[in-house]
Amino acid sequence: MIDYHLHTVRCCHATGSMDEYLAEAQAKGLQEIGFADHFPLALLEFAPQTQVTMNAGELEIYLRDVLALRERSDLPVRLGVEVDYLPGREALTGKVLARYALDYCIGSIHFLGDWDFTHPRYVSKYGAYDADKLYRTYFKTLQALAESGLFDIVGHLDVIKKYAFFPKNDWEDLLRETCRILAGSKICVELNTAGWRAPVKEAYPSEAFLRECLRLGIPVTLGSDAHCPQDVGAGLSQAVSLLKELGFSGVTTFAGRKRFVLPL
Ligand SMILES: [Zn+2]
Ligand SMILES: [Zn+2]
């Protein structure tokens, strides 16, 4: 069991020390963990209304802290980041990411325009949207994320459902088209258990997405998206059972941005 999506206090909305995250992972018997804190939006020249990432100046310290933790840990600790995909800033994102020797890079969407639709503070804005159009916009952006080739893993694939705002019409075609593009761009999908703890109470992505991923041979990895030590490993046994039940035979791990398979 691995947990590739751990945050740290540096992102301004997480608690606990990295040693506490590690201790929790050891107590829960995880085989491998990876930190993937929110990459500084300032380095991508984007200024959100609410700060939700590290500051530019904190990145080097974060990278050093993870490597130092790896040194004193018996459990393998991977070095990752969770980076916002910002349409139109692909070249800048690629240039900035190339500076760091990472094990993996998670690409996520938290913003549509300047709206942080994942933030509880801005939930009321959903009311201004037609859900069918919103899903289309979100998944078209996600397709561009995959096609950018910038990331190893797509984070919380269908996080647009976080507050249980769903389209009225069938959107099966959009789901299929998205998976076809994910498969074509060879990106890995994380089964992110934070959805079970969110208002939607459903993992990211849904079983329908996972079935399509399996059918198309899209690799999967695992993450809790923990923002506090007690959430490290949360929901992972349920996630592993679900993957096995669906017919997945392994999960993907990363080192130096190369992939390995851990059999389930
Ligand atoms: Zn976060
Ligand atoms: Zn995220």
- For the chain, give every domain's residue range: 2-263
> What's the CA-to-centroid distance between 166 and ligand 2, angstroms?
19
> What's the CA-to-centroid distance between 226 and ligand 1, angstroms?
8
Q: Which of 228, 173, 234 has the alpha carbon at shortest distance from 13? A: 228
**What CATH fold (topology level) applies to the domain 2-263?**
TIM Barrel (3.20.20)
Two structure tokens written together for 199: 């208002």
**What confidence score (pLDDT) does residue 51 get?**
92
Ligand nearest to the CA of 11: 1
Cα–Cα distance between 213 and 210 in angstroms, integer? 5
Ligand nearest to the CA of 153: 2
**What confidence score (pLDDT) does residue 170 get?**
97
CA atoms lying within 13 Å on the CB side of residue 85:
26
DSSP E strand stretches across 122-257: 153-154, 188-192, 220-223, 250-255
> What's the CA-to-centroid distance between 103 and ligand 2, angstroms?
18
> What's the CA-to-centroid distance between 176 and ligand 1, angstroms?
28
Q: How far apart are the first and last CA of the chain?
A: 8
Contact of 151 with 189, CB cutoff 8 Å = no
**What confidence score (pLDDT) does residue 39 get?**
98
Amino acid at 148: S
Cα–Cα distance between 142 and 191 in angstroms, integer? 16
> What's the CA-to-centroid distance between 5 and ligand 2, angstroms?
9
Whole-prediction pTM: 0.98
Two structure tokens written together for 146: 């995959």
pLDDT digits (tens, 9 = 90+) for 124-146: 999 999 999 999 999 999 999 99
> What's the CA-to-centroid distance between 155 and ligand 2, angstroms?
6
> What's the CA-to-centroid distance between 13 and ligand 1, angstroms?
6
**What confidence score (pLDDT) does residue 80 get?**
98
Compute mean pLDDT per 10 residues along the chain, 264 residues long, and list them.
97 96 98 98 95 95 98 97 98 98 98 97 96 98 98 98 97 98 98 98 98 98 98 98 98 98 96
**What confidence score (pLDDT) does residue 75 get?**
97
**What confidence score (pLDDT) does residue 245 get?**
98
> What's the CA-to-centroid distance between 118 and ligand 1, angstroms?
9
Cα–Cα distance between 174 and 191 in angstroms, integer? 19
> What's the CA-to-centroid distance between 215 and ligand 1, angstroms?
30
> What's the CA-to-centroid distance between 111 and ligand 2, angstroms?
10
